[in-house]
Amino acid sequence: MDFEQNIPQPENLSRTLACKVAYDGAPFAGFARQAECDRVMTVQGELEHALRVLYRRDVRTTCAGRTDAGVHAIGQVVSFDVTEDEFASRTPRSLLRSLNALVDDHMSVSVVEEKPFGFSARFDAKWREYRYRISTAAARPVLIMPLVWHLGGVDLDIDAMNRAAVHLIGEHDFKSFCVAASAVGKPTCRNVMELEVFEEEILGQQVATVRVVGNAFLHSMVRTIVGTLVEVGRGRRNPEWVCDVLEARNRGAAGQNAPAQGLVFWHVEYE
């Protein structure tokens, strides 16, 4: 259920503000606000609570992309509308300070700026970028453990993963790569603009990073892409198998859903 639509808004809204938000996803039950009876902490719930305190009314927010429980972000964008008087009451700099003072410590607002009235963080986005990190170290990478999928001494063939990734670039039906229930009666075609796997070092630990850029993503699509590429990287499947997964249009044909903690919502691009 979309609880955003249940928030009545003033009729004299005339200004749009957008925030850039980062968060450690571990303590949150995802981005989206949930029914109050659920009594769980969400990113949207924290932001809207802070805005309610500041503007003394319920404020409807829109995000660039809803993240699942445990998924992190450094480049999430959230937009909302205010009245002329509300806009005049707080400068963007003042609002930024106030939001950071009110939200949970696992969140941070780095930018608050005015956008053209009617701007939507979701619908005006041109593309979104996610990054997923995998550690193959034999020993637990304790300092980055909350941010990676630790495979524990498994060797990954990065070249083979990249050869497999090529088959997923472009516009395809990604029904095999999303939660089956979320695809019922809904379009499942998406455009993956870039997909690559590369090695990098984080706090002295070598990780394999999967970087994916697309116009939009289905529920758990990135994590299923990662799980599928890992099957290839471990030598369990050949790179061409990914074509069979696409053609199957069946979630059971793909690899596992990679754990949430390795995924970061990295960036959103607007005109």
Six-digit token pair at 225?
A: 């892409």
Phi then psi for residue 166, to 5 deg, are: -55, -35
Six-digit token pair at 76?
A: 């999430």
Q: Is 55 labeled as ligand-binding? A: no
Helices (H), the chain: 43-55, 84-89, 92-102, 158-166, 221-233, 241-248
Phi then psi for residue 216, to 5 deg, are: -165, 165
Of the candidates 227, 156, 236, 226, which has an alpha carbon nearest to the alpha carbon of residue 196? 226
**Which residues are identified as catalytic?**
68
232 and 241 Cβ atoms separated by less than 8 Å: yes
Using CB atoms within 10 Å of the CB of residue 109, give its burial: 0 to 12 exposed, 13 to 18 middle, 19+ buried.
buried
Say how many C-beta atoms besides its own lie within 10 A of residue 91's C-beta: 11
Q: Please calculate the CA angle 2-265-225 and round it to the nearest 5 degrees.
A: 90
Beta bridge partners of 212: 130, 195
Of the candidates 166, 154, 179, which has an alpha carbon nearest to the alpha carbon of residue 68? 179
195 and 162 Cβ atoms separated by less than 8 Å: no
Binding residues for substrate: 130
Binding residues: 130
